[in-house]
């Protein structure tokens, strides 16, 4: 990754030494011997990391610091102080400096600090990216059907009592995890961890260690002590999906946690007390599992204190258009296809007549695929899966020009909107690129990402700070994308 570094120091030897050392590590470095020239450059081109001396010929570094942060809050500032000047260093940290270097310092110390900054900010950018995607997916439960209105009421009720155990029941793809997150984030535990685990995805032995942790030496691969998910979720919520598939040996330990709020790590001898709210979910018939003997009755009754049922999408087809519009709004922005304004009448008819065995998740995937493939301003039947057309082959389409116009669910106007799709040529822009013998889905997605970034950089005249702002990325995240697509020429 090419990182831009600015060195602001009036000592020529320090400038030269740091520049040589940093450039040998592959960083792009600019040097300045006064505050005025640096600020002129910084306002225009920015910098990822600024090494700022406190004593400058025309200014004081502590006075420059707030201005640097105001111009670009994402820039990392490291102040350079005289040996033993701890008071100045503390003041700089309070004003927003990331860290400080006391002169004299070693090149190794500088390189380690830069690597730490890069790693910290890359992780921060990735977490922010995933958090934003998470919030966009789980921020609301759409639907005007009576069953969805009742669902929202039940979520609010469950959230008010942040200790009540909740069991969410519904078919695969109905949004059970979404409901669990809504309960958590509407409750008094919202600022504590929400941790989810799929009981069917991990074998019994491994799941026991995941849930309860283990002590060093508890088994062959236990090289050190490990905290389990119950400990990590302390104060928050633990969501156990596919609870009907929980191994019999773990059902006893889970029952103890529910009853006594304590457990022991694998290989441990000490009780660990936790305050965790348990939300479980299943798409299985738990009553049948009890009859079969694969689910303990006492555990079922502990889990089934407050039950929330989610209706399948086929039972609330009046919500299909609302959901489809919401997903269209999401993916036309993600793929920079703002020119897509809605659905053709035929496409809407197909979507409303389909039963969606995969429920809302399947509808979301259908819209994502359609937006990715669509080359006009309307989602057409040609870009919907074959299953929808086969299911509705008796429908007669008469070429009507009537369309369902798109109304954004959440309007978020911006002066920095990316150019409309008619200005962008996306590779493989035919109706069904997957029919090509050489079609590769990952390469297709990568080519779309790369083309969007290229177009935005052209639009901004190559200014990456501006491009990152338009794309909604941090500068570190944009540089990561540039490197990924082989576009990092710096």
Distance CA 305, CA 307 (A): 6
Contact 172, 358 (CB under 8 A): yes
The predicted structure's pLDDT at residue 141: 83
The confidence band for 429, taking pLDDT boundaries of 50, 70 and 90, is: very low
pLDDT at 433 over 50: yes
Cα angle for residues 417, 420, 422 (degrees, 5° grid): 165
The predicted structure's pLDDT at residue 474: 74
DSSP 346-386: HHHHHHHH---TTHHHHHHHHHHHHHHH--SSEE-GGGS-H
The predicted structure's pLDDT at residue 434: 66
Region 356-361: what's the mean pLDDT? 94
Nearest by Cα to 214 from 153, 284, 264, 158: 264
Average model confidence (pLDDT) for the chain?
A: 83
**Structure token pair of residue 338:** 């703002």
Q: Which helix (H) or strand (E) holds 464?
A: helix 464-471
Contact 79, 54 (CB under 8 A): yes
Q: Which is more confidently placed, 375 or 391?
A: 375
Distance CA 373, CA 427 (A): 11
pLDDT at 415 over 60: no
Region 1-9: what's the mean pLDDT? 85
Contact 118, 1 (CB under 8 A): yes
The predicted structure's pLDDT at residue 411: 37
Cα angle for residues 361, 366, 368 (degrees, 5° grid): 95
The confidence band for 140, taking pLDDT boundaries of 50, 70 and 90, is: low
Distance CA 346, CA 336 (A): 24
Region 430-443: what's the mean pLDDT? 65
pLDDT tens digits along 277-323: 999 999 999 999 999 999 999 999 999 999 999 999 999 999 999 99
Q: Which is more confidently placed, 43 or 432?
A: 43
Nearest by Cα to 79 from 70, 88, 67, 66: 88
The confidence band for 487, taking pLDDT boundaries of 50, 70 and 90, is: confident
The predicted structure's pLDDT at residue 86: 76
Count the neighbouring beta carbons within 10 Å of the beta carbon of residue 433: 17
Region 81-102: what's the mean pLDDT? 82
Region 218-231: what's the mean pLDDT? 82
What CA dihedral angle connects 369, 370, 375 and 376, to 10 degrees? -160
Which 3 state secondary structure label does DSSP give 7?
Answer: strand
* Stated pTM of the model: 0.56
Distance CA 233, CA 228 (A): 9
Cα-only R_g, the chain: 28
The confidence band for 393, taking pLDDT boundaries of 50, 70 and 90, is: low
Distance CA 350, CA 190 (A): 40
Query: Long-range contacts made by residues 292-299, C-beta under 8 angstroms, separation at least 24?
Result: 294/244, 294/248, 295/244, 295/246, 295/251, 296/248, 296/251, 296/252, 296/255, 298/255, 299/251, 299/254, 299/255, 299/258
Measured in degrees and rounded to the nearest 5, phi and psi for residue 350 equal: -60, -45
The predicted structure's pLDDT at residue 400: 38
The confidence band for 451, taking pLDDT boundaries of 50, 70 and 90, is: confident
Distance CA 209, CA 229 (A): 9
pLDDT at 3 over 90: no
pLDDT tens digits along 254-285: 999 999 999 988 888 889 999 999 999 999 99
Domains and CATH numbers, the chain: 4-129 (3.40.50.2300), 146-310 (3.40.50.300), 313-413 (1.10.8.60), 414-490 (1.10.10.60)
Q: Which is more confidently placed, 318 or 483?
A: 318
11-20, 88-97, 172-181, 455-464: least confidently modelled range: 455-464
The predicted structure's pLDDT at residue 366: 96
Distance CA 97, CA 91 (A): 9
Distance CA 168, CA 179 (A): 8
The predicted structure's pLDDT at residue 414: 37
pLDDT at 41 over 60: yes
The predicted structure's pLDDT at residue 83: 59
């Amino acid at each position: 990754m090419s990182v831009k570094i600015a060195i602001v120091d009036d000592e020529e030897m320090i400038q030269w030494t740091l520049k040589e050392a940093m450039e040998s590590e592959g960083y792009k470095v600019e040097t300045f011997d006064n505050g005025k020239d640096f600020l002129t450059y910084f306002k225009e081109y920015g910098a990822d990391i600024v090494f700022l001396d406190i004593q400058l010929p025309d200014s004081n570094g502590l006075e420059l610091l707030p201005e640097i942060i105001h111009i670009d809050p994402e820039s990392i500032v490291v102040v350079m102080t005289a040996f033993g000047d701890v008071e100045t260093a503390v003041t700089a940290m309070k004003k927003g400096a990331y860290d400080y270097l006391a002169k004299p310092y070693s090149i190794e110390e500088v390189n380690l600090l830069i690597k730490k900054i890069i790693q910290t900010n890359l992780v921060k950018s990735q977490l922010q990216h995933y958090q934003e995607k998470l919030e966009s997916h789980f921020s609301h439960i759409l639907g005007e059907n009576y069953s969805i209105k009742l669902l929202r009421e039940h979520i609010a009720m469950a959230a008010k009592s942040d200790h009540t155990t909740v069991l969410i029941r519904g078919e695969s793809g109905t949004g059970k995890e979404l409901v669990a997150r809504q309960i958590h984030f509407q409750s008094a535990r919202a600022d504590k961890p929400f941790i989810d685990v799929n009981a069917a995805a991990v074998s019994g032995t491994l799941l026991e260690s995941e849930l309860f942790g283990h002590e060093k030496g508890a088994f062959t691969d236990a090289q050190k002590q490990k905290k389990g998910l119950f400990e990590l979720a302390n104060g928050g919520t633990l969501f156990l999906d596919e609870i009907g598939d929980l191994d019999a040996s773990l059902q006893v330990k889970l029952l103890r946690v529910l009853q006594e709020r304590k457990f022991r790590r694998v290989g441990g001898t000490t009780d660990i007390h936790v305050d965790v709210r348990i939300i479980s979910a299943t798409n299985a018939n738990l009553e049948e599992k009890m009859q079969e003997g694969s689910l303990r009755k006492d555990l079922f009754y502990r889990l089934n204190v407050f039950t929330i049922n989610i209706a399948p999408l086929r039972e609330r087809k009046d919500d299909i258009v609302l959901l489809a519009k919401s997903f269209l709004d999401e993916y036309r922005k993600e793929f920079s296809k703002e020119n897509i304004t809605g659905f053709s009448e035929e496409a809407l008819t197909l979507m409303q007549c389909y039963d969606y065995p995969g429920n809302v998740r399947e509808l979301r995937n259908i819209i994502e695929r359609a937006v990715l493939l669509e080359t006009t301003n309307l989602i057409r039947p040609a870009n919907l899966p074959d299953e929808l057309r086969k299911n509705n082959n008796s429908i007669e389409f008469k070429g009507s020009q009537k369309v369902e116009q798109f109304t954004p669910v959440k309007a978020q106007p911006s002066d920095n909107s990316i150019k409309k799709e008619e200005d962008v040529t996306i590779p493989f822009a035919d109706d069904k690129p997957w029919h090509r013998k050489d079609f590769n889905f990952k390469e297709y997605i990568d080519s779309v990402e790369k083309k969007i970034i290229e177009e935005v950089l052209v639009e901004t005249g190559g200014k990456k700070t501006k491009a990152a702002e338009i794309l909604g990325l941090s500068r570190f995240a944009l540089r990561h994308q540039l490197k990924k697509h082989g576009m990092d020429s710096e």
